[in-house]
Structure 1
């Protein structure tokens, strides 16, 4: 049936046909009393209706539709975290999936299958951390982001209680650089509290390239107090959440760079995926 609004935009002579009856549901206030204000009924598509009731019904429907859109937008906020809030050193990582993780060596196949199996356990509600360890260029970041893609499922539009899960990929060197920039750039939103809360709140987090943020991967120096504080705050907030770490460093080197208590916290509830024999994929891609 046409709405009152759609009829109202038509030619005047086709706009309405009045009926002899009146609707007495509508009132206005005079002094302290509600006074009935009769509204003349009209015939719309062969049906006698109150134009004001029809308009109010249309407005309520529009309001419900708007509220539904806002509510679903809030529920998809978690789903959009991965794309809108992640911090990359190399943006091409954002295209990584399990499907485009090419395997040519036995260790690659084993590690890809292990990661996919671990993700199934996370999807079932288990909570543990995953530690991807090995030389640069073997695909650790790729597998880490692919894991988030698999975990990043939008909420069920028919279930208003389903808020979805938030996934986040943070390259530690990029995060540390952004925070340090905020010290002098007051316009930057990437303050230490903002970044640590962002990382702490995510349901699933990849901390990419742990150790590179210190700038001391190939030296004997230790991480700064700033880096220790940053990682400590994040790990404190994630005691009951799954975190995936990627690093080029050995466990011995991690203990050398960071406080032993911090490393022990990072290593809690870990499932390891170690690359020892996989070739550097980036070298293989060179045209010479």
Structure 2
């Protein structure tokens, strides 16, 4: 069972000893959740007015690109939208700097992805089974292949009402792969090129992307695994921040509202121990290169 590793940090600008950095890197690559229970992301001034579902449109979350400064998904306009963007930008920058200081081995190669603000309660939300994130899964996305990259995410619960972000956290990735991979067929010849030509995918879908998508779907579609698979329930309290490789650690979001989330992409080759990556786990199982 991937444990939750607790780090007693209360400052986003904290510095870390080499020993702590090594513990964090070994922990997160092994499949641990790195927990910072005393590290709240504090809203400034009148930013608390954004703690309402009215900040989003039909998309249910606001997305921000730190690289381009583009904000999408909000119902706000003008100065209100700019101030919301400023809040999300601060979180993106703080998350990036936290990763750089805690995991300096990654700094040269890690790439900032999308930042999300999720002010809508997830419990009770209607969705298809594939999009139902209350089911245990590892992250993989149909239109956004990662090829040889990892998905590292930083989360912070900014709920003002005392409500936790409740997760179920599953067992080791290799055990999950051994359970589901024997029943997953390989990709059809030429499908990667066709999907990209039709603009269904933003880039080439590798064999690894194919297997991860099928693994994601197989996990969500299996009621026995959802009910009886190895798992714990953990409450991420308001004011808590956490970090995890979501392509490796099975997780399900059971309830929660008002969350900030930062995605990073890390090449497998930049890991301290690439053999722990889902890519290399699946390559050992299939006895072939998947990129």
**Highest relative contact order (Cα 8 Å, sep 6+), 1 or 2?**
2
* Bigger Rg, structure 1 or 2: 1
TM-score under structure 1 length normalisation: 0.23
TM-score under structure 2 length normalisation: 0.23
Q: Greater helix share, 1 or 2? A: 1
